[in-house]
Amino acid sequence: MNYILCSDGCAGTFKADPDKHAKALRDQMIKRAGGPQKAFTCSMHPDIVSRSPGQCPICAMKLTSAAGK
């Protein structure tokens, strides 16, 4: 996954702890999708978040409810 950051300072902060910041981004995406009960994600690509069930655009696996994660 590629991330676009606003500055070298933000990039440095992200690189220092990428898992922490990627999780925060994913949590925000789930919140914007309506919460875990309304969001769907790919088990292989957790950064993929959708408001409806379907297939992952990267690997074509079935998206599952984020409520169980």
pLDDT digits (tens, 9 = 90+) for 7-39: 999 889 989 998 898 888 889 999 999 999 999
Torsions phi, psi for 10 (to 5 deg): -65, -40
- Quick one: tokens of 66? 């984020």
Looking at every residue in the chain, the average pLDDT score rounds to: 90
Stated pTM of the model: 0.72
Give the pLDDT of residue 64: 95
pLDDT-derived band at 3 (thresholds 50, 70, 90) equals: confident
Q: Give the span between the Cα atoms of 45 and 61, in whole angstroms.
A: 9
- Token representation of residue 38: 């309304």
Total Cβ atoms within 10 A of residue 30 = 21
